[in-house]
Amino acid sequence: MAKLGLVVDLDTCVGCHGCATACKQWNTSGTIGPLSDKDPYGRDPSGTWLNRVRTYEVGDTPNSKTVHMPMSCMHCEDAACVTVCPTGASYKRKEDGIVLVDQDKCMGCNLCSWACPYGARELDPQAGTMKKCTLCVDRIYDEKLPQAERQPACVLTCPTSSRVFGDFDDPNSDVSRLTRERGGQQLMPELGYNPVNTYLPPRNKKVVESYQIKPSLGATLKQWVNKVITR
Amino acid sequence: MNSVKTDVPCSLDAQLLIDSVELPEFEAHDKQQTKYTTCYMCACRCGIKVTVEDNQVRFIQGNPNHPINKGVLCAKGNSGIMKQNSPAKLSAPMLRKPGTERGAGEFEIISWARALDILEKRLAQIRATDPKKLAYFTGRDQMQALTGMWASQFGTLNWAAHGGFCSVNMAAGGLYTMGHAFWEFGDPDWDNTKYFVMWGVAEDHSSNPIKIGLKKLKERGAKFVSVNPVRTGYQAIADEWISIRPGTDGLLALSMVHVLLRHQLVDEEFLIRYTNSPQLVVNTPGVKGDGLFYRRAGEIQIWDQTTDSFADARRTDVAPALFGEFKAPDGTPLRTAMSILLHKYLDDAYAPENAAKECGVDAETIERLALEMAQVAFRETITLDIEWTDWAGRKQDKFIGRPVSMHAMRGISAHSNGFQTCRAIHLLQILLGTIDCPGGHLAKPPFPKHVPPGIKPAKECAPNTPLKSPPLGFPTCPEDLVIDAAGNPLRIDKAYSWDAPISCHGLMHMVISNAAKGDPYKIDTLMLFMANMAWNSSMNSAQTLEMLCAREDDGEYKIPFIVCSDAFHSEMVAYSDLILPDTTYLERYDTISMLDRPISEPHAACDSVRIPVIQPDRDVLSWQEVMIEMAGRLKFPAFTTPEGERRYEGYKDFIVNFQKQPGIGFLAGYRGADGSKSLRGEPNPRQWEAYEENEGFFEFQLEPNQRYMRHANRDYMELAKEAGWVGSTDQILIELYSEKLQTFRLAGQGLYDGPMPTEEHHKERLVKYFDPLPFFYMPLEEQRIDRDEYPFHAVNQRPMFMYHSWDSQNAWLRQIMSQNYLFMNRVAGEKAGIKELSWVWVESHNGKIRAQVKLMEGCNEQTVWTWNAIAKKGGAWGLSKDANEATDAFLMNHLISELLPAKGDQQDRITNSDPVTGQAAWYDLRVKITPAADGETGTWPLFSSHEPLPGAQASPQMLSYSSHKNVNLKRPMLDILTRGEK
Amino acid sequence: MHPAFSVLIFTVTSGAGYGLFALMVLAQLAGLNALQDSTLLLSGAVLALLMITIGLLSSTLHLANPKNAWRSFARFRTSWLSREAVFAVLFYPVALLYLFGIYAQGSELSSLYSACGVVAALLAMVTLFCTSMIYASLKTIRQWCTALTPLNYLSMGLMSGALCLATLQALLQDGLSPVLRSAGLGLIALGAVVKLIYLFWIGKPAGATIKTATGFTQASVRLLDAGHSAGTFLTNEFGYTVAANKLLRLRFAMVALAFVVPFLLLMQGHAAATVLAALLALAGLLVERWLFFAEARHVVRLYHGDQRT
């Protein structure tokens, strides 16, 4: 048994969208692929993405901060998307808690996407089935991949290592440790879905001391005295 | 080295899990191949590991062993599949249909044989008559060592790449000061720095290395200060954001210098040992020789405090006076460079209270930042106990690190005061003693080089004769200018003329404008590679399109023949006469050469290659193959045997066998007959295979004692000389005070024994801007317009997911952004009565555009900005005519003139560029903003659309890319029927 | 929420059908005079089944992959949609048996057929309840996640059903039965009260905000960039936005069409007025249902920049 999920570090995410396109790239040929794109070269291109990055500004000028927030499936412990699914296509794996959509069984009723508060599910305009993050179930267990690469594509690619993958049931895992040490938070916990993924809030600003200056020093040229320093 | 991505979820007991679940085989690994090459989605040059099945890309990931990206990849790199599958790919060579207008986009497909014959005849004719009639300019190419060599061999002065409109201020600012610079020339010491200041970095140069570095800073708790009028991307995670008014960074830096000097917080040892600050400067204003170093028997002098006498500056057994005024035996007044510096920056003009008025950064903040840096540099010093040998052969027992580092890029570069601003930032770094020391700003091999690198631009060209030196180089005095006896420019872009004397990357942004005017002369053929000069890479794009189509009275085009090589249907394609379709980056051989600006890291000399991972399905040829083919056909000496035969079969052969000097070629790795030699060695016939076997790159680690203080590190310098990176093992003396600039100033003052300008405005510019010490001046556009009439600065940046790329054709990336907005500070917008998402007119001295506004917090109140190059012409790049890029997005380029704002004086026809380096001053733009009338919506101006090219594949309405049928993970029916709520 | 036309048609017509069926059976079995008429009962049952069937068929139109619609019976254990499907299907044989009973025995039904009638009426209400619970169970949409939602669906279903029944009765017999008229008036009044309470209730600020959604509760939060220029599945599905003044106009139109005018018409008691009342009420309920969707604000909108739901 395991509780697999992601930790996203809001302190270091620069909003590059690398995770979003890595996800798109891996999964379009992955187990739930393809991820279709409507009007890809036309007006209002709109495709299926499993991970999107949004940018917020917190606070008002001049005391504000920019925060980049990547969002994908939280693999909730009490996943309402699974509860509402009439066909049983949506399910949460007992082994590791990954929430998946069996592409052969989905009828495309959208109800699971209505039940999801995080916008994690998107209907594929071509296949007519619901697509969502699989935590790259087709990577993390693939023994033919090098051990270090058995991670979700978004985690593998993140240039600021702002995404960490692991087992929240293991108190010694990186994800558990980071959540503990950095005050990792769930998004919208009040809905009671118990999202597994956590977000690490931005760290407090680093404060550096100023050099303690001697007030007697003035601003004139003459006060500089040559020291004997050998070249 | 590869610490970034090794933290596998160790807690995840994979084996246990696999035992408990039965999963299908998702990937047919036995049908897949893994290949290594180098990304080309931008200029960052990350190593990529590409999984291919059935000549289709399955997955592109970062190469975990690669020195640049260490396994990570950005949004662009991850979207390579959509670049490879772009419907905008050119399919075959094309010729403008006879009788059709240039720009109409009507072409006929021709064979490569015919295309190459046409090109050969044209080029042979030009080369045999007047080689400079060929203007050969390349965009974002990564093979300038080859294209520059080709131009030299052809014999035309008119060659450059895109550096002149990108970042020459940064390159020149560093190379004329300390022999290395930002980005490709140097990096912050991410592993050791404790205080990092990022100036004007627009989410770009460079991409992944900066992100990896910022993460390291955050983990270690180093402070990250960002100086930028806009807070996006990297700035978002800064500990402190300094919302500076654009174009005033130099003043901010020099005000910090003022603070440091006022409190005597400089590294005097560093200055005396490693810089020219103690050197004596002649102080005779108005007299020849003023401002030049005082020399005896050709040697620059210092004042030795131990002997109380003059001494050669290069001597090591002296204790030079850092300050003071002296008199030469002949009575000539002298003072140290440092004395001039003190005098200059202690002036009230640079006091924080005064700087604050211009920069928009309050005085306390300026003072505090300077003192924080001093604290870290001098009180939080780090030492590495590594024994090393200095340039004079003296053993040193440790490297002293002053862990303050900086990075600066386009926000500094793209102003007409960018060169001096860049020098000001370097001055700040140098005074703090942070150059190439642990925690400071490190050089990347083959840098540092002597100041400046010893290549001079070619000045003469003659029929069928190679140039004597490369077209681009580093002038050190007016004699090095590329002008005729009358002082007129010899290059079409007027580089190295009095307009822009140290324009070491050329002025690509002036080529079309000058050629269309026939100023300074007419050309015959404009040959462009990978440069979209008919759209977002030109200032004043709308008028540039007219220039490209302008005709003489006799009906001949003013630019008679335009050749364009590109892999994609860019806007430039329609304005070309001959189109040579290039391969994509996944289909080609390429070298990121040590002769150029390679992929080195501070502690390792590295270069890399591209190796095809996909077989092209079109009739295309990589540009480098075309170059080698033409060089052979035109019998360039370096490409021809003494018997007159072609020397190289093709590009691969050329790369392996060409030697610049004995043992030194384009690739530094796996040399020698058996591939065992590094950096220097005879050609290895299996060199390509060796790179392929080594994941497409070569990494030569420096010894610990060669890793720092390399400008004065004998062990490093000896290696550098052996590798051909430097010409001598002499100390690379950091030039705080630039005598080279002073020679130009003297020429402007009429006090120079050599070429001097005759026109008044040239004299004024030289006197004013060629200050041997960095200084702040108001950007030129701002000087020439009414600041009250145009109250806002207007700047732009490429978004991270499109930086330095060609990616509105990319079906995935354009979903992230297909329309740009004019961003404005919310408070400023509210003051001006401008509402969120309303349409406004944006007007500059050069024209106006209509754009849609978004208000934001993280924007300087006097600044508006947008994402650059989102707008495209309909039909180009495989886009539909009604694509958002064509109807809603806008280019700021239309507002920016390639010439200075007209005032009816002689400067009207001078380039809108830095007066020292010719760097395009994109960010000098000032605008006024007025709400559009009711009903005025949509972008303006609008442009006609391009028609599909012959042979172009139609852009699909629905795209479902997959390299194989998906293997669905099925849920058992029993589970569906029996599972309860949880 | 995006008001999908197929879902509007489905919920309004099937709601009216279930309401009609349930009321008719109960009134008949309760011995209401006007309904001891096999023609009326047959017409009513056929009309109800027709409306239900049209509604159910319409509902499959919004499925993106209808070939798997049959699988929707599978998750009866947790899914209200699945339950709705199961009960909707169960309703048919029982209702048809009742219909057969009427056909065979007229209004004097044997206990078996009477029982079928009762069970069918119950299934009708249960199905309608399940439909409403699909919406009421979604914690992501505060305008739906309330007991008022099933109350709304049931009362609207019964109200529109009553008007359909009254229409049929008035057309097939001479003049509207006073009992049906009273029942109709009462159900219209009930529906109006329920709706007004609902409108009042959703008007109260409540629920998650952009601050709680992003976790930055100490300061204002504004969306700077959604990460895409054009619409996405999410913005199309959840981003449906109507101008406030248009909403207000539609609310007035809804109240007038669905409740006020039918009430006044029904008071007249003419057959023609009754027909008109039923038609207007159905039209009004389409508006009501449209508003039910259009005014529902999914929490994912907070991530797209809405300050509150």
Burial class of residue A209, CB neighbours in 10 A (0-12, 13-18, 19+): exposed
Give residue A219's pLDDT.
57
Touching check for B933 and chain C: CB below 8 Å? no
What is the DSSP secondary structure assignment for residue B379, as one 8-state letter?
I
Rounded CA separation B477/B446 (Å): 25
Rounded CA separation C41/C151 (Å): 27
C116-158 confidence digits (pLDDT tens): 999 999 999 999 999 999 999 999 999 999 999 999 999 999 9
- What SS3 class is residue A101? strand
Which chains contact C through at least 3 pairs of Cβ atoms less than 8 Å apart?
Answer: A, B
Among B817, B857, B858, beta carbon nearest to C229: B817
Which tokens in the block code for residue B959?
A: 């795209």
Average pLDDT, stretch A113-127? 97
Give residue B387's pLDDT.
98
B579-616 confidence digits (pLDDT tens): 999 999 999 999 999 999 899 999 999 999 999 999 99
Tell me what percent of chain B is helix, strand and coil, each rounded to the nearest 5.
30, 20, 50
Report the 10 Å Cβ neighbour count for A228: 10
Relative orientation angle of helices B739-749 and B760-769, to the nearest 10 degrees: 150
User: Across B228-298, where does the E strand assignment appear?
Assistant: 240-242, 280-282, 295-296
- What SS3 class is residue C69? helix
**pLDDT at position B79 over 70:** yes
**pLDDT at position A180 over 90:** yes
Q: State which amino acid sits at residue B646.
A: R
What is the DSSP secondary structure assignment for residue B736, as one 8-state letter?
S
Judge whether B40 lies within some domain.
no
Touching check for A28 and chain B: CB below 8 Å? yes
Nearest-Cα distance to chain A for B976, in Å, is: 5
Of the candidates B22, B33, B966, the one whose C-alpha atom is nearest the C-alpha of residue A30 is B966
Nearest-Cα distance to chain A for B621, in Å, is: 26
Judge whether B454 lies within some domain.
no
Question: Pairing relation of β-strands B195-199 and B223-227?
Answer: parallel
Rounded CA separation A189/C139 (Å): 12
- Residue B982: band (very low, low, confident or very high) from pLDDT cuts 50, 70, 90: low
Q: What percentage of chain B exceeds 90 in pLDDT? A: 95
**pLDDT at position B204 over 80:** no
Average pLDDT, stretch B486-491? 97
Give residue B866's pLDDT.
98
Is the domain of B540 the same as that of B659? no
Which tokens in the block code for residue B796?
A: 């732009």
Tell me if A29 and B964 make a contact (CB, 8 A cut-off): yes
Is the domain of B152 the same as that of B180? no
What is the DSSP secondary structure assignment for residue B509, as one 8-state letter?
G
Rounded CA separation B433/A174 (Å): 39
Instruction: Please tell me the total count of domains within chain B.
Output: 4
Nearest-Cα distance to chain A for C220, in Å, is: 5
**pLDDT at position C171 over 50:** yes
What is the DSSP secondary structure assignment for residue B661, as one 8-state letter?
B
Which chains contact B through at least 3 pairs of Cβ atoms less than 8 Å apart?
Answer: A, C
C186-219 confidence digits (pLDDT tens): 999 999 999 999 999 999 888 899 999 999 999 9
Give residue A224's pLDDT.
83
Nearest-Cα distance to chain C for B854, in Å, is: 8
CA distances in angstroms from A163 to A70, B2, B736, C28, listed in the order given: 9, 17, 43, 66
**pLDDT at position B6 over 60:** no
Among C77, C227, C230, beta carbon nearest to B980: C77
Among B4, B13, B879, beta carbon nearest to A41: B879
- What SS3 class is residue B137? strand
Is the domain of B216 the same as that of B319? yes
Nearest-Cα distance to chain A for C238, in Å, is: 8
Rounded CA separation B537/B166 (Å): 10
B696-755 confidence digits (pLDDT tens): 999 999 999 999 999 999 999 999 999 999 999 999 999 999 999 999 999 999 999 999
Q: How far is CA C244 from the centre of its chain?
A: 24
**pLDDT at position B239 over 90:** yes
Residue C266 · residue C192 · CB < 8 Å: no
Is the domain of B201 the same as that of B306? yes
The CATH code for residues A4-200 is 3.30.70.20
Tell me if A67 and C216 make a contact (CB, 8 A cut-off): yes
Residue positions counted in chain A: 231
Residue B753 · residue B287 · CB < 8 Å: no
The count of CB pairs under 8 A between chains B and C is: 28
- Looking at the DSSP bridge assignments, the partners of residue B713 are B390
Nearest-Cα distance to chain B for C217, in Å, is: 18
> What backbone phi and psi angles, to 5 degrees, belong to C100?
-60, -40
**pLDDT at position B7 over 60:** no
Of the candidates B279, B227, B708, B205, the one whose C-alpha atom is nearest the C-alpha of residue B428 is B227
B416-457 confidence digits (pLDDT tens): 999 999 999 999 999 999 999 999 999 999 999 999 999 999
Is the domain of B507 the same as that of B418? no
Touching check for B689 and chain A: CB below 8 Å? no
Give residue B17's pLDDT.
44
Burial class of residue B542, CB neighbours in 10 A (0-12, 13-18, 19+): middle
Among B26, B214, B800, beta carbon nearest to A142: B26
**pLDDT at position A194 over 80:** yes
Nearest-Cα distance to chain C for A131, in Å, is: 11
Of the candidates B115, B122, B120, B90, the one whose C-alpha atom is nearest the C-alpha of residue B105 is B90
Question: Pairing relation of β-strands B325-327 and B333-336?
Answer: antiparallel
Q: Tell me the chain A residues in contact with residue B79 when contact means C-beta distances shorter than 8 Å.
A: 21, 24-25
Torsion of CA A136, A140, A144, A148, to 10 degrees: 120
Rounded CA separation B924/B792 (Å): 10
Average pLDDT, stretch B618-629? 97
Touching check for B970 and chain C: CB below 8 Å? no
Best to test chain B binding among A7, A13, A28 (most B CBs inside 10 Å): A28
Q: What is this model's ipTM?
A: 0.97
Rounded CA separation B62/B73 (Å): 5
Touching check for A12 and chain B: CB below 8 Å? yes
- What SS3 class is residue B49? strand
Region at B542 (left for phi over 0; alpha for psi -120 to 50; beta for the rest):
alpha
**pLDDT at position A139 over 70:** yes
Judge whether B35 lies within some domain.
no
Report the 10 Å Cβ neighbour count for B665: 26
- Residue B11: band (very low, low, confident or very high) from pLDDT cuts 50, 70, 90: very low
Q: How far is CA B120 from the centre of its chain?
A: 31
Asked whether the CA dihedral B308, B313, B316, B320 is positive or negative, the reply is positive
Tell me if B856 and C224 make a contact (CB, 8 A cut-off): yes
A153 to chain B: nearest residue by CA?
A: B61
**pLDDT at position B113 over 50:** yes
- Residue B4: band (very low, low, confident or very high) from pLDDT cuts 50, 70, 90: very low
Is the domain of B476 the same as that of B442? no
Touching check for B320 and chain A: CB below 8 Å? yes
Which tokens in the block code for residue B479?
A: 């004699």
Nearest-Cα distance to chain B for C48, in Å, is: 32
Tell me if C140 and A17 make a contact (CB, 8 A cut-off): no
CA distances in angstroms from B433 to A97, A211, B445, C198, listed in the order given: 54, 16, 20, 71
Give residue C174's pLDDT.
83
Q: How far is CA B647 from the centre of its chain?
A: 33
Domains and CATH numbers, chain C: 5-303 (1.20.1630.10)
Q: Which residues constitute the domain of residue B820?
A: 787-931
Touching check for B540 and chain A: CB below 8 Å? no
Touching check for A143 and chain C: CB below 8 Å? no
A165 to chain B: nearest residue by CA?
A: B9
Of the candidates C44, C48, C35, C46, the one whose C-alpha atom is nearest the C-alpha of residue C180 is C35
Residue B680 · residue B605 · CB < 8 Å: no
Residue B971 · residue A36 · CB < 8 Å: no
Give residue B546's pLDDT.
97
Tell me if C229 and B857 make a contact (CB, 8 A cut-off): no
Q: Tell me the chain A residues in contact with residue C212 when contact means C-beta distances shorter than 8 Å.
A: 188, 190
SS (H, E, C) B582-640: CCCHHHCCEEECCCCCCCCECCEEEEEEECCCCCCCCCCCCHHHHHHHHHHHCCCHHHE
Give residue B161's pLDDT.
94
Nearest-Cα distance to chain B for A88, in Å, is: 5
Q: Tell me the chain B residues in contact with residue A229 when contact means C-beta distances shorter than 8 Å.
A: 268-269, 272-273, 319-320, 322
- Looking at the DSSP bridge assignments, the partners of residue B865 are B795, B823
CA distances in angstroms from B382 to A231, B117, B378, B877, listed in the order given: 22, 63, 9, 52
Tell me if C229 and B977 make a contact (CB, 8 A cut-off): no
Q: What angle do CA C116, C122, C128 make, to 5 degrees?
A: 135
**pLDDT at position B905 over 60:** yes
Give residue B16's pLDDT.
42
Rounded CA separation A180/A193 (Å): 20
B880 to chain A: nearest residue by CA?
A: A42
Which tokens in the block code for residue B657?
A: 């066998």
Tell me if B59 and A29 make a contact (CB, 8 A cut-off): yes
Cα Dmax for chain C: 72
Is the domain of B149 the same as that of B237? no
Computed over every residue of chain B, the mean pLDDT equals: 95
Residue B518 belongs to a domain with what CATH number?
3.40.50.740
Rounded CA separation B702/B830 (Å): 56
Q: State which amino acid sits at residue B876.
A: A
Touching check for B981 and chain C: CB below 8 Å? yes
B326-362 confidence digits (pLDDT tens): 999 999 999 999 999 999 999 999 999 999 999 999 9
B222-235 confidence digits (pLDDT tens): 999 999 999 999 99
Tell me if C224 and B981 make a contact (CB, 8 A cut-off): no
Question: Pairing relation of β-strands B333-336 and B280-282?
Answer: antiparallel
Among A40, A64, A228, beta carbon nearest to B956: A40
**pLDDT at position A62 over 90:** no
Average pLDDT, stretch B787-807? 93
Touching check for B78 and chain A: CB below 8 Å? yes
Q: Tell me the chain C residues in contact with residue B977 when contact means C-beta distances shorter than 8 Å.
A: 74
A38 to chain B: nearest residue by CA?
A: B958
Q: HSE, CB side, 13 Å, CA atoms: give it for residue B797.
A: 26
Is the domain of B176 the same as that of B148? no
Tell me what percent of chain C is helix, strand and coil, each rounded to the nearest 5.
75, 5, 25
- Residue spans of the domains in chain A: they are 4-200
Average pLDDT, stretch C156-174? 95
Tell me if B815 and A209 make a contact (CB, 8 A cut-off): no
Asked whether the CA dihedral B856, B861, B864, B866 is positive or negative, the reply is negative
Give residue C108's pLDDT.
87
Is the domain of B177 the same as that of B121? no
Give residue B323's pLDDT.
94
Touching check for B349 and chain A: CB below 8 Å? no
- Looking at the DSSP bridge assignments, the partners of residue B585 are none
Tell me if A108 and C64 make a contact (CB, 8 A cut-off): yes
Tell me if C221 and A191 make a contact (CB, 8 A cut-off): no
Tell me if C300 and A117 make a contact (CB, 8 A cut-off): yes
Nearest-Cα distance to chain C for B819, in Å, is: 6
Q: HSE, CB side, 13 Å, CA atoms: give it for residue B825.
A: 23
